[in-house]
């Protein structure tokens, strides 16, 4: 594990410069979601909660045509 001390880095920046960084690490929840993602089951009758099914047409690609 590593630590970034933003205060130390910010002191090295010239006025007007911005600090940008990217963390390339997935959380356990993201890894589980990616592992279990099945594009054939997205927005199907089984995946839409029963109390929201009345609004399914709003997000339907077929209805948008």
pLDDT digit string (tens) for the chain, length 65 residues: 445 566 655 556 677 877 777 777 888 988 898 898 888 887 777 888 889 888 888 877 777 77
**What's the rounded Cα separation, in Å, for the pair 6 and 18?**
12
Give the pLDDT of residue 1. 43
**What's the rounded Cα separation, in Å, for the pair 44 and 56?**
9
Residue ranges covered by each domain of the chain: 22-64
Task: To the nearest 10°, report the CA torsion of 27, 29, 31, 32.
Answer: 160
Give the pLDDT of residue 9. 54
How many other C-beta atoms lie within 10 A of the C-beta of residue 56?
Answer: 13
């Amino acid at each position: 594990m590593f630590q970034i001390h933003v205060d130390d880095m910010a002191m090295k920046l010239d006025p007007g410069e911005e600090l940008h960084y990217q963390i390339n690490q997935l959380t356990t929840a993201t890894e589980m979601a990616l592992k279990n993602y099945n594009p054939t089951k997205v927005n199907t009758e089984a995946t839409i909660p029963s109390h929201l099914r009345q609004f399914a047409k709003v997000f339907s690609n077929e209805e948008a045509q």
